[in-house]
């Protein structure tokens, strides 16, 4: 569910006409709904009600400070994967004790930043990282809570580029080696073992892979406790998918996911952390673009937009599907058209959809990419010296630009020409 609906023939973001935002901000732009962000976060929080838990928003999905502050105000923690994300979360007012630091390649400087600023825990991904974290913690005279990310060798049945829990993936340590790695962690100064971490991938549309992974985690918890380790916290990751194609079966609901967590690990008496990102932010955002031209080709028509792969890279990178709809609601009975929907970037990969059947649109019309709130703006770039796409947040009848579009002068003046040129 989202709050982008047609009203009086115009697509609205909550109570604001999308065309009104476009007239003020220009296109392309991202638009987020506060009501949708709020609803989706609360679904996860309520799904774990009654058991000790913290919902840590995976801010790699969408990390604008306005989004972070909105979710933090609802009680969210944050899952960060870089020093920059850590500092962004702190700048948005998130306390260190609510920030979980994940990621496969943490540097010593990133460790130092988080340890000096305060952190809930580090999710350690390898033995070399564990040794480095111990060194940094000792140098600062602190003890840092850690979990170890185990790789359960479970097929998440998702796109290969976003699967993280199989043996060939780069993440975590093989679950078969967990006992020896935890024994090493217990010997290292500056580290305090508190739990287990697992994350098997993103955009999962079936609960069975979660079940397989969490059952392995439950078994490992008992084994590690028998070895003398304190296992009081289970970080179960995120990954629950969203329905990008309206015609497809809906993925499981957070309530079903919460029930699975209770069933598989609820008997262990652990505090549970989950790290949803896509399901919180995905349907909470749209990308709005304008039609530059409708071009007739050999046996096909091209819809050329002012939005491009640098603004939304998911289709080029993951062959991802986004529902693309006109901002002005089509009249009943209007015949649909078929388009290859493309952007202006000089790459054949700058293609959003091929032979997409949708209501006919013309030059100057606005279209909206639905379910674009996650992995959209955060992955945008200035390729082809195209300005970084702005972001807008809507709250009921109000909207605000939360990341402005840079000017060409601002972009170009970042370059520094050496004195010898």
The residue written with tokens 């100064």 in the block is 189
What residues does 117 pair with on adjacent strands? none
| Interaxial angle between packed helices 254-265 and 208-226, expressed in degrees from 0 to 180 and rounded to the nearest 10 | 30
CA distance 120 to 252: 29
Phi, psi angles (nearest 5°) of residue 337? -125, 165
Catalytic member of 31, 56, 270, 346: 346
Q: Please check whether residue 76 is in contact with residue 87, taking contact to mean a CB–CB distance below 8 angstroms.
A: no
Cα torsion for 7, 13, 17, 23, to the nearest 10°? -150
CA distance 335 to 343: 24
3-state secondary structure at position 256: helix
Q: If we measure between CA atoms, which residue out of 95, 107, 98 comes closest to residue 57?
A: 98
CA distance 3 to 343: 26
Q: Please check whether residue 375 is in contact with residue 61, taking contact to mean a CB–CB distance below 8 angstroms.
A: yes
Whether 346 is catalytic: yes
Residues 6+ apart with CB under 8 A from 206: 157, 251, 252
Peptide bond into 50 cis (omega under 30): no
Peptide bond into 222 cis (omega under 30): no
Residues marked as catalytic: 346
């Amino acid at each position: 569910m989202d709050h982008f609906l047609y009203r009086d023939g115009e697509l609205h973001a909550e109570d604001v006409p999308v065309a009104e935002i476009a007239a003020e901000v220009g296109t392309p732009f991202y638009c987020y709904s506060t009501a949708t962000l709020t609803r989706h976060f609360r679904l996860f929080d309520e799904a774990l009600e009654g058991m000790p838990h913290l919902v840590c928003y995976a801010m790699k999905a969408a990390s604008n400070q306005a989004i972070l502050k909105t979710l933090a105000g609802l009680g969210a923690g944050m899952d960060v994967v870089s020093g920059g994300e850590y500092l962004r979360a702190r700048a948005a007012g998130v306390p260190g004790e609510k920030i979980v630091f994940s990621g496969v390649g943490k540097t010593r400087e990133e460790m130092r930043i988080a340890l000096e600023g305060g952190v809930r825990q580090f999710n350690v991904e390898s033995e070399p990282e564990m040794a480095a974290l111990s060194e940094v913690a000792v140098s600062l005279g602190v003890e840092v809570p850690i979990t170890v990310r185990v790789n359960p060798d479970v097929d998440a049945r998702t796109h290969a580029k976003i699967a993280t829990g199989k043996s060939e993936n780069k993440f975590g340590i093989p679950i078969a080696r967990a006992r020896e790695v935890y024994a090493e962690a217990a010997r290292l100064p500056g580290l305090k073992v508190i739990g287990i971490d697992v994350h098997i991938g993103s955009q999962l549309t079936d609960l069975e892979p979660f079940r397989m992974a969490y059952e392995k985690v439950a078994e490992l918890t008992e084994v590690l406790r028998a070895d003398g380790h304190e296992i009081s916290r289970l970080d179960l990751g995120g990954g629950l998918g969203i329905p990008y194609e309206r015609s497809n079966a809906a993925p499981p609901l957070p309530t079903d996911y919460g029930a699975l967590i209770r069933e598989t690990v609820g008997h262990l008496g652990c505090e549970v952390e989950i790290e949803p990102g896509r399901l919180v932010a995905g349907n909470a955002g749209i990308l709005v673009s304008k039609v530059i031209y409708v071009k007739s080709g050999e046996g096909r028509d091209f819809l050329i937009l002012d939005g491009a792969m640098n603004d939304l890279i998911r289709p080029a990178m993951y062959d991802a599907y986004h529902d693309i709809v006109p901002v002005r609601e089509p009249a009943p009975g209007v015949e649909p058209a078929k388009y290859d929907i493309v952007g202006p970037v000089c790459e054949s990969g700058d293609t959003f959809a091929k032979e997409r059947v949708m209501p006919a649109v013309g030059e100057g019309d606005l279209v909206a990419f639905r379910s674009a709130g996650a992995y959209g703006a955060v992955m945008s770039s200035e390729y082809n010296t195209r300005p970084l796409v702005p972001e807008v947040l809507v709250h009921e009848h109000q909207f605000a630009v939360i990341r402005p579009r840079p000017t060409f002068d601002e972009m170009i003046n970042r370059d520094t020409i050496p004195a010898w040129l």
